[in-house]
Structure 1
Amino acid sequence: MKHKKPSLIAALLVLAGSARAHIVLEQPSAEAGSAYKAVFKVGHGCEGSATRHITVRLPEGFRGAKPVPKPGWTLSLRMAPLAQPYESHGRRIEQDLAEVTWTANSEADQLQDAWYDEFQLRGTLPEQPGELWFKLRQVCAQGETDWAEIPAAGASSKGLKAPAARLNVTARTAEAGHAH
């Protein structure tokens, strides 16, 4: 039995390391057409260096997004024209939020490697079930990671070095009302 213990410990360490190795969504699934609060969980910096900048590139179909401001961080927004304009409250929407960036205002505001924090935004999910991938760029005082890898259709993201945050958009279970 003694010879199996180091293997078990090594396996647990690998799993613990891989669990820390991503920026993930707090709620990994939600109903199609619903309002969704995307909470990105950031559990580490870049190999010991503090995070000073987080950028989220919004997936196509995620509409009307609004970020949550963070004390000590400046918000920057980038709009982009839509391939498929849509109607909202009687207005034709031809461009929408495409990218949100939070930048620490000072070194003291940076997210230290040993700390955990969340970055949030809300929007409306597409009407059709499927996967949405949020690509994130994490810039640290030293180094950066572009969490943007997406597996082939139907494949797992396990084994990817820097996977994007995956949201599984499920079929509606009941007719939902209009939400904000």
Structure 2
Amino acid sequence: MHSRTKRPLVMGGTALVGAVALALGGAVAANAHVTIAEGTVTAGAYEILTFSVSHGCDGSPTTEVAIQIPEGINAVTPTRNGFYTLEKVMEDLATPITDRHGNEVTERVAQVVYTATTPLPADQRDAFELSLQIPEDAAGQTLYFPVVQTCEQGETGWVQIPEAGQDAHALDAPAPSVTVLAATGDSGHGDTATVDTAGHGEETAAAPAADQTPLVVTSLVVGALGLIVALIALLRRPKKA
């Protein structure tokens, strides 16, 4: 389902975010944050990011998980989850772009919202997968995916982004994030080299088998001759009266 209404999530310094987190009224459990399993990704690569929600809001079951998509990522394919309905919240691009197929793109996925059909118990966890392409120019950056977790009672905004030099682990409700690594310049050659190496490996392994072919044939011939001799001997046995 597509919607033109973008749900507000907060991104900014710790002072502003701290005030908003208090306004949300959600209690944050220590060492039980919303996280992304894939800690590092590669610039330009297609990745599947797994968002883990490990508890409710101060004992209240989770009813909705809204994930904000950072700028630079336009298309997102969410994985279905049987306990939730899905919504892609769209927004217009300030400047339309052309994709690799030559199509004009005028909007992007701003958020992906999972709404529970059956609330997630506070003492259980769940995971949400998003397939997307990491921006090619994001090498060396950290991409943040702020999440608002709504419960039957209260909300928790996992939206805090560390300031320069600040340890994200020191935040009460850090936004889930991934670190983007640069794509290796010879990655393509590396893949080719792997294929080539595998090919040479197969050829190397096959060579001894080819050299042993005469020996195998000789063994078969000897075995066949032995069987023939045994049959002749059996036929020549005198018949009992």
Q: What TM-score comes out, normalization by structure 2 length?
A: 0.62
In structure 1, the partner of 2:98 is 87
Give per-residue Cα distances to partners, 1:99-157, cap 9 Å, x unaligned. 1111112xxx2111111110111111111211110010000111111111101134221
Question: Tell me, what secondary structure is at the counterpart of 2:153?
Answer: coil
Partners of 2:96 and 2:133 in 1: CA distance: 14
Percentage of identical aligned residues: 34
Greater strand share, structure number: 1
Partners of 1:127 and 1:153 in 2: CA distance: 23
Count of equivalent residues: 157
Given the alignment of the two structures, is residue 100 of structure 1 paired with residue 112 of structure 2, yes or no? yes
Gaps of 5+ in 1: 1-16
Partners of 2:124 and 2:62 in 1: CA distance: 10
Q: Which has the larger radius of gyration?
A: 2
Gaps of 5+ in 2: 1-28, 189-241
Q: What is the aligned counterpart of 1:23 among 9, 13, 34?
A: 34
Aligned partner of 1:99: which letter? Answer: Q
Question: Tell me, what secondary structure is at the counterpart of 1:155?
Answer: coil
In structure 1, the partner of 2:154 is 143
In structure 1, the partner of 2:175 is 164
Runs of at least 4 residues of structure 1 off by over 6 A? none
Q: CA deviation at 1:32?
A: 0.1
Does the Cα contact within 8 Å between 1:63 and 1:126 map onto a contact in 2?
no
Question: Tell me, what secondary structure is at the counterpart of 1:158?
Answer: helix
Question: Tell me, what secondary structure is at the counterpart of 2:145?
Answer: strand
Q: Aligned Cα RMSD in Å? A: 1.7
Greater helix share, structure number: 2
Give per-residue Cα distances to partners, 1:153-178, cap 9 Å, x unaligned. 342212211110011111002445xx
Question: Tell me, what secondary structure is at the counterpart of 2:166?
Answer: coil
Q: Which structure exhibits the higher relative contact order, with contacts defined as CA atoms closer than 8 Å and separated by 6 or more residues?
A: 1
Q: What TM-score comes out, normalization by structure 1 length?
A: 0.81
In structure 2, the partner of 1:68 is 79
Question: Tell me, what secondary structure is at the counterpart of 2:142?
Answer: strand
In structure 1, the partner of 2:143 is 132
Q: 1:81 to 1:140 in 2, by over 3 A?
A: same
Given the alignment of the two structures, is residue 110 of structure 1 paired with residue 119 of structure 2, yes or no? yes
In structure 2, the partner of 1:3 is none
Partners of 2:47 and 2:92 in 1: CA distance: 22
In structure 2, the partner of 1:10 is none
Given the alignment of the two structures, is residue 50 of structure 1 paired with residue 61 of structure 2, yes or no? yes
Given the alignment of the two structures, is residue 37 of structure 1 paired with residue 45 of structure 2, yes or no? no
